[in-house]
């Protein structure tokens, strides 16, 4: 099948930050890297927090389930390395402040896991009809797979057939619209067949009749690799490729659906409500591993990048490795490094404590320098809103960011609701364009937290 390499699919709004992918785009995924210890967070997903299944001094095996919760919306956690439980301690967490983690000390001789990547297992030899839907769903749940693009919603919960909301279209998200990050790009090149196997399994359990892999047109090699593999498997016509326009936040699932299918997901709703399932490419690869090889989600590809890193690179790293170790492995911080971000520069969260462990949703560690942040942003000085309307034009959700932010600033939460604060997906496009350097997204996030608190106190 001939695929259009120039992305014609797009959505209204959005911004065009410089993508900075060249720092790591050609850096192959490096295997064989193990941290000294792993701190496995009990909360790495949306839903119920896991209860530890092991206690101090227990011997643990690679891939052993060490935390679980019976609740429907939850995902178990597993041990990435063979070793011993050092204890259950608080560790810094990017969002929650400090949170409980199971600390595993690895056996020194233990070698890092290396997954099967290529054609031999997942290529033409692979046949999804070997597995029943129940088997697939069970494997996904047992492996603790969550949305690896950042959301962290347990995949098993959303992937299965739901009689009330039948799914028709599966969109595989390979956009990677955040600047700097290349982990999804690398796996699209290196794990092409694994991704396709995962896609076929996901299609089977979800019952979708149509499958589209969406890739931004600044990654022509990935588009090429994917379509080549599809042809080789003679899956043309069954799995389509949609080259989408390079624009942030193209990889937001609501924006992606708008671009590819020209449909809107209701405000406050989720894609299954309109019969769409969106899975990140890394998630599909994890599904393939879980179903075919029975491996749990204990490792993931992480991009360590930014002008503040000496040797930016992509790693296949154990979940639970500390940010510090990964940075050291990449040659350490440069003199100019001033901000360490879990994730990309648009939506990532900056951390003060480098002992923070990475989780299932950490796709990148981006270290910025003062120059990249820019003088105005670095000084943090905000000036008055000149009502220029740039934030309104940039907002992919078609909101009025300045009005919402000002309502929150003046503590008028009801007014913020009137301007549909709940519709904000926190993409940061508004703050990015604001000439007055106002932290619009910051205010909006604060407003959402305040509203949630208000609801809680009202309920009590």
Partner 1 sequence: MAARIRVSPSPHISEGLSTRKVMFDVIIGLVPAMIGAVYFFRHYAIILILTCVISSVVTELLCNLIRKVERPFESLGDLSAIVTGIILAFSVPPSLPIWAAVIGSVFAIAIGKMVFGGLGCNIFNPAMVGRAFLTASFGMLMTTWVVPATVDADMPTISASNVSVDARTQATPLAQSKEVQKKDIDKEIVNKQMGAMLFGEVGGCLGETSAVALLIGGIYLLIRKTITFHIPLAVLVSTSVFGGICYLINSDAYVSPLVHLSSGGLLLGAFFIATDPVTAPLTRRGMWVFGIGVGALVMLIRVVGEYPEGAMYSILLMNAVTPLIDRFCRKVPAGGKPNV
| Cα(2)–Cα(239) distance, integer angstroms | 12
Q: Considering only 23-31, 130-138, 292-300, 438-446, which stretch makes contact with partner 1 by CB under 8 A?
A: 438-446
| Cα(259)–Cα(275) distance, integer angstroms | 16
| Cβ at position 14, least distance to ligand SF4 in Å | 9
Q: Considering only 42-50, 162-170, 221-229, 418-426, which stretch makes contact with partner 1 by CB under 8 A?
A: 418-426
- Residue 365 near residue 304 (C-beta atoms within 8 A): yes
- Residue 342 near residue 86 (C-beta atoms within 8 A): no
- Residue 99 near residue 43 (C-beta atoms within 8 A): yes
422 binds, among partner 1, ligand SF4, none (CB under 5 to 8 A by kind): partner 1
| Cα(123)–Cα(229) distance, integer angstroms | 9
What SS3 class is residue 37?
Answer: strand
- Residue 88 near residue 100 (C-beta atoms within 8 A): yes
444 binds, among partner 1, ligand SF4, none (CB under 5 to 8 A by kind): ligand SF4
346 binds, among partner 1, ligand SF4, none (CB under 5 to 8 A by kind): partner 1
432 is a site residue for partner 1 (CB under 8 A): yes
**Residue written as tokens 């939850």?**
74
Q: Which listed residue (373, 413, 450, 451) binds partner 1 by CB under 8 A?
A: 373
Q: Which listed residue (24, 34, 192, 372) binds partner 1 by CB under 8 A?
A: 372
Alpha-helix residue ranges (DSSP H) falling in 395-439: 401-409, 413-418, 429-433
| Cβ at position 406, least distance to ligand SF4 in Å | 8
Q: Which of residues 148-207 bind partner 1 (CB under 8 A)?
A: 179
32 is a site residue for partner 1 (CB under 8 A): no
| Cβ at position 362, least distance to ligand SF4 in Å | 21
> Toward ligand SF4, which CB reaches closer, 267 or 411?
267
267 is a site residue for partner 1 (CB under 8 A): yes
The contact set with ligand SF4 (CB under 6 A) reads: 385-391, 394-397, 399, 401-402, 424-430, 433-436, 438, 440-441, 444
* Own/partner long-range contacts of 417-426 (Cβ < 8 Å, ≥24 apart): 417/451, 420/267, 421/447, 421/448, 421/451, 422/267, 422/268, 422/448, 422/451, 423/267, 423/268, 423/397, 423/399, 424/397, 424/399, 424/448, 425/249, 425/252, 425/254, 425/396, 425/397, 426/347
| Cβ at position 354, least distance to partner 1 in Å | 7
**Residue written as tokens 């941290």?**
35
| Cβ at position 82, least distance to partner 1 in Å | 32
Q: Which of residues 312-341 bind partner 1 (CB under 8 A)?
A: 333, 337-341
| Cβ at position 251, least distance to partner 1 in Å | 15
**Residues linked to residue 105 through DSSP beta bridges, in sequence order:** 37, 84
């Amino acid at each position: 099948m001939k695929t259009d390499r120039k992305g014609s699919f797009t959505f209204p709004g959005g911004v065009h930050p410089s993508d900075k992918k060249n720092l790591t785009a050609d850096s192959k995924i490096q295997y064989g890297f193990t941290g000294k210890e792993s701190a496995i967070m009990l909360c790495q997903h949306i839903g119920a927090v896991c209860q530890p299944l092991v206690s101090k001094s227990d011997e643990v095996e690679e891939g052993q389930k060490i935390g679980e919760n019976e609740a429907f919306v939850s995902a178990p956690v597993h041990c990435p390395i063979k070793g011993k439980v050092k204890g259950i301690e608080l560790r810094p967490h990017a969002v929650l402040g400090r949170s409980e983690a199971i600390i595993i000390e690895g056996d020194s001789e233990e070698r890092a896991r290396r997954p099967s990547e290529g054609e031999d297992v997942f290529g033409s030899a692979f046949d999804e009809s070997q597995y029943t839907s129940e088997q697939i769903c069970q494997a996904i749940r047992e492996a603790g797979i969550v949305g690896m693009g950042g959301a962290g919603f347990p995949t098993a919960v959303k992937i299965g057939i739901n009689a009330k909301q039948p799914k028709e279209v599966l969109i595989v998200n390979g956009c990677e619209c955040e600047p700097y990050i290349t982990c999804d790009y690398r796996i699209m090149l290196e794990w092409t067949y694994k991704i396709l196997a995962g896609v076929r399994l996901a299609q089977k359990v979800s019952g979708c009749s149509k499958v589209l892999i969406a890739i931004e047109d600044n990654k022509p090699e990935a588009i090429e690799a994917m379509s080549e593999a599809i042809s080789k498997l003679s899956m043309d016509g069954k799995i389509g490729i949609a080259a989408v326009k390079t624009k942030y936040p193209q990889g937001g699932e609501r924006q992606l659906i708008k671009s590819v299918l020209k449909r809107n997901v209701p405000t406050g709703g989720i894609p299954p409500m309109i019969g769409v399932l969106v899975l990140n490419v890394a998630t599909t690869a994890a599904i393939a591993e879980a179903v075919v090889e029975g491996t749990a989600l204990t490792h993931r590809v992480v991009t360590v990048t930014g002008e503040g890193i000496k040797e930016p690179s992509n790693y296949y790293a154990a979940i639970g490795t500390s940010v510090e170790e990964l940075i050291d492995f990449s040659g350490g911080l440069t003199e100019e490094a001033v901000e360490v971000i879990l994730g990309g520069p648009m939506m990532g969260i900056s951390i003060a404590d480098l002992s923070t462990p990475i989780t299932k949703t950490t796709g990148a560690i981006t270290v910025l320098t003062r120059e990249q942040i820019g003088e105005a942003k670095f000084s943090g000085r905000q000036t008055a809103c000149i009502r220029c309307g740039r934030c309104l034009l940039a907002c992919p959700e078609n909101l009025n960011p300045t009005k919402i932010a000002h309502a929150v600033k003046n503590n008028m939460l009801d007014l913020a609701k009137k301007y549909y604060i709940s519709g904000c997906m926190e993409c940061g496009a508004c703050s990015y364009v604001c000439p007055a350097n106002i932290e619009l997204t910051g205010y909006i996030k604060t407003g959402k937290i305040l509203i949630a608190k208000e609801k809680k106190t009202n309920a009590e």
